[in-house]
Amino acid sequence: MDVSPSIFTLLFVSLLFIPAALFAQIDREAGSLIQTRSEVIGQRGMVATSQPLATQVGLQILKNGGNAIDAAIGANAAMGLMEPTGNGIGGDLFAIIYHAESEQVYALNASGRSPLGLSYDDLMEILEEQRVDSIPALDLLSVSVPGAIDGWFEMHDQFGSISMAEILEEPIWYAENGFPVSEAISASWKRSAPRLSQQVGAFKETFTFDGRGPEKGEIFKNPDLGNTFRLLASEGRDAFYRGEITRKIDRWMKENGGYLRFEDFDKHTSTWVKPQTVNYRGYDVYQVGGNVQGTAVLQMLNILEGYDLSKTGFATAETFHLMIEAKKLTFEDRAKHYVDEDFYDIPYETLLSKEYAEQRRALITSKASDDLTSGVEVLEEGDTIYLTTADKDGNMVSLIQSNFRGMGSGFVVPGTGFSFQNRGELFSLDPNHPNVYEPGKRPFHTIIPGFVMKDGEPFMTLGNMGGAYQPMGHVSLITNVIDFGMNMQQAGDALRWNHRGSTQPTDGLDDTLTNVGLVSIETSIPPQVVRDLRAMGHRVQVGNSFFGRFQAIMRDLENGVYYGASEARVDGQAAGY
């Protein structure tokens, strides 16, 4: 009898010894196993958002002669309609813009402020009556002035090239004629709809079908939002801040026990701020500072620059440990110092210095830390959208916008078509804390746009939504590209991690980190890496967490093209031409 192995047996056994890298080429003609799809490449323009129809709105604006700033505004308007689970004109906005003609990087803080007529003492008295010790998310106390629309008009006045009527034309069409709801957005919408339908106001009529969220593929219309857009197109930003819409809001707030008034809108302004920046291995990384957590990205990178991550390797226990510890150290500063600069002098000179990073780095040992505080004396789930655009002239926009908790507070003034944000929840109530509630003050924000320059030229825009996760997401994207040599789509598709348990800006001034917290890592993590992290003292869970959603554009000056990338875990799309 012939006992020699068959050709099929030999083939199977030989496959067992083929290197994993070769399998990557079997699975994909280019790229690697961690890459879900190829980057999008275009010469004349690029748009990336988390909703494909919104991406097409932005792209059409570019094709019609608008620039990257116009496209970002139009895409954001469409996003507020199509992904109300993450953003909308009842929320705030931050942007970093590279303006090709002036060759400058600009940063815009378009976040709103707390009601001028609600004092700290009044707030504390109300909370005492409610028997709560923090500002409730679904209470009118959490509603601050929406800053997004003023942000649009600031961007447009400074850099826009076509009229707001042209920019808003497609969003108005979709609001009035409807759009098919995409898969991931439908899932979030259905979770939020039943709870927020109980809120006073027009949420149920505006955002649900008799109390339920729309199914995937179901056509949804928001004619009230379309009418609001029409008013903005014809009357400008004043329609929202000192016109018909303002009067509606003022009247509704008075009738329903709210705290915002006409005066709060009339006095609202956005602020062009100096972008904060550090150099990381030859790349200039830019963030918005002040009452947002962008400074945390820069502090983490300063700490990590002291290690050779290309040698410790991507997704190894050693690299994860360094990143987790850098995050813990940085977030203790975040909890104490990232506040409205009109009320507190943020010590950037210390926080962003290489010397301070060296001092903080010295606190990292081979074990997980469980006892940390800020090194500078004092003088979180949220839903958001991030989008980015670029045009033929070299202008690039990195923009993030949010209602905070999903669909915001759920308070909808009849006839307006939008839900108010609940960012006021993120004030501290400690009277000695820099982030303490005060009238007319901007609360702490989690939303951050990112931008990177190389040798004085724009290199990439990047951002990801996801509450307190965002600095970790930015650092992961940046190190994936700079330290681990990934392209933009690989960088976003790669294994992600998150850490929770740090002190928060809503805590008291004396609160500090007192335990190791919880590390969450996506399910593709090798088991041995988990065992190694646990041996270092980290508490680790695999999966069962939230790891944000990203968009990014990289500029290739040598070839004269843009590379676009978008979130493959949900509905995202990058498109160029």
Note whether 193 and 210 are within 8 A (CB). Answer: no
- 126: helix, strand or coil: helix
DSSP 554-569: EEETTTTEEEEEE-TT
Sign for the pseudo-dihedral over CA of 307, 309, 313, 317: positive
Note whether 446 and 380 are within 8 A (CB). Answer: yes
Q: Token pair for residue 136?
A: 């409730």
Three-class DSSP labels, 19-73: CHHHHHHHHCCCCCCCCCCCCEEECCEEEEECCHHHHHHHHHHHHCCCCHHHHHH
Note whether 114 and 87 are within 8 A (CB). Answer: no
What letter represents residue 402's amino acid? Answer: S
Rounded to whole angstroms, the Cα distance separating 315 from 102 reads: 40
Three-class DSSP labels, 313-331: CCCCHHHHHHHHHHHHHHH
Secondary element (H or E) of residue 244: helix 244-255
Rounded to whole angstroms, the Cα distance separating 96 from 105 reads: 7
Rounded to whole angstroms, the Cα distance separating 260 from 484 reads: 48
Q: Token pair for residue 259?
A: 């705290």
Rounded to whole angstroms, the Cα distance separating 386 from 343 reads: 28
Rounded to whole angstroms, the Cα distance separating 186 from 179 reads: 12
384 labelled catalytic? yes
Q: Mark 181-192 as b/e (b = at least 16 C-beta within 10 Å).
A: bbebbbebbbeb
Distances (CA, A) of 437 to 53, 362, 366, 467, 536: 39, 35, 39, 20, 39
Note whether 387 and 50 are within 8 A (CB). Answer: yes
Rounded to whole angstroms, the Cα distance separating 495 from 4 reads: 43
Residue 278: which residues within 8 A CB-CB, separation 6 or more? 284, 285, 298, 301, 302, 352
Rounded to whole angstroms, the Cα distance separating 201 from 570 reads: 31
| CA-based nearest residue to 474, from 298, 279, 276 | 298
Secondary element (H or E) of residue 577: none
- DSSP assigned state of 277: E
Rounded to whole angstroms, the Cα distance separating 389 from 71 reads: 7
Q: Token pair for residue 199?
A: 């809120």
Rounded to whole angstroms, the Cα distance separating 489 from 249 reads: 42
The H-assigned helical ranges of 43-168 are 52-63, 68-82, 120-130, 148-159, 164-167
Among the options 330, 384, 416, 446, which is catalytic? 384
What residues are annotated to the active site? 384
